[in-house]
A and B are shown apart, each in its own frame.
Chain A
Amino acid sequence: MRGGAGKHQGPMGVKNESIASRQRRFEHIAMPHSRSLLRMALRLANCAWAAEDLVQQALLQAWRGFDGFHDGTDARAWLFRILLNAFYAQGRKLRTAPTVIQLTVHDEEATSHPGSTAAFQAITVVQAFRALSLEHRTVLHLSVVEGFRCREIAGILSVPFGTVMSRLSRARQALRDQIAGGTKKLCESGVAAGSKKRR
């Protein structure tokens, strides 16, 4: 019986070790991408608390499925796929959540220097981006902000390559339309504010 107990403890010790090393590997591979994940989640959920929950959920799911991850493959793309799957799984709830518009650092700088052209352009672009559809925001964020290639985006979103190309093209066009509309509005409000001051 004693021998049996000893044998039982041996494999458990090894198993504990492997869990610890698995945890270290996870820390090394997945955790560094949490900021990127949160940025993406903020674009998806449009609400800080929901985005944070989403990232947590994604990290936990990544941990559970970490055995399926192969070293040397793109961890970032893998994590983004998990994040998007988690979002679509509870998407309806998140999409109907009230939209909380946050001022970014860039916005703060822009509002503190309202006269600068760069600030004006940044505000316009960010506001135009927020007005886009979820589909367009997602694909633009993955391509422009995260720098994924169209093939990688196709893998992340589980859609054909051609779909990504056309979606990106439409998203860019929609962004430009929004910018044009936003610029017009901003110019009009600026003119209105100027005329009020003059009076």
Chain B
Amino acid sequence: MTCADISELCTPYLSGELEADRVRAFEDHLRDCPECAAEVELQRGIDSLLRGAILAERVDTGAIEDRARQWIAAEQPRRRLSGRVPTVIAAALVLSLAILGEPDTTAHQDVLRCRPGPRAQCPPPAVDCRPRVGCPIGRAARDSSVARHQLGSSRVSIAARETLPDRRSPNPAPRLYG
């Protein structure tokens, strides 16, 4: 091993990462070369001084740890909430599918509650079932009421028609019955 090798391998030697056979060769060279030995000793001494000076530094982490614990505690409810989100989404999907599957009997009970007779006897709808853009419930109700009307079936379709006009629309649908 040459002096150049010693200079190159000094870092892994000091951090104890040199293979055993190379350590032997390294130390053999140090025994034979006082300059290299002095260099390595000097570096070891500097490392030791630096480590001692920094480790002697008084660092207090009590306050930091307390604050970190508070932050961690504050994080937990959010974690729990995020864990429930998939369940909530799944429940909403199931509910919406159930509603869309039977629009007349579940979502629009008020339509079915209409008594036989003239239009005036129909009670006002308990829920707003006006058709809205993108609202599957309203659309389903409208479709079913129109279909029933076209079949000429019943008062239920008339009542449903009564509940359907979209007051917000600038172009209201024409009335089927005068």
Contacts and interface: CB of A to CB of B under 8 A. Distances in A.
Contacts, number: 115
Interface in A131-168: 140-141, 143-145, 147, 149-151, 165, 168
A63 B75 CA distance: 9
B67 A56 contact: yes
A34 B64 contact: yes
Contact of A60 (B56, B58, B71): B71
B61 A60 contact: no
B64 A144 contact: no
A121 B12 CA distance: 25
Interface string B1-26: 00000001011100111000000000
B68 A125 contact: no
A186 B42 CA distance: 19
Interface string A1-43: 0000000000010011001000100100001001101110011
A121 B48 CA distance: 11
B144 to A, nearest CB: 29
A38 B61 CA distance: 7
Contacts of B55: 39, 145
B53 interface: yes
A122 B53 contact: yes
A150 B51 contact: no
**Size class of A's contact patch?**
35 or more
B29 to A, nearest CB: 18
A35 B83 CA distance: 33
Contact of B61 (A34, A63, A107, A149): A34
A159 B43 CA distance: 24
Contact of A38 (B8, B59, B83): B59
A150 B11 contact: yes
Most buried by B among A105, A109, A147: A105
A125 B49 contact: yes
A12 B53 CA distance: 50
Given A39-B54, A125-B46, A168-B11, 4 more contacts: A63-B71, A143-B11, A150-B17, A172-B10
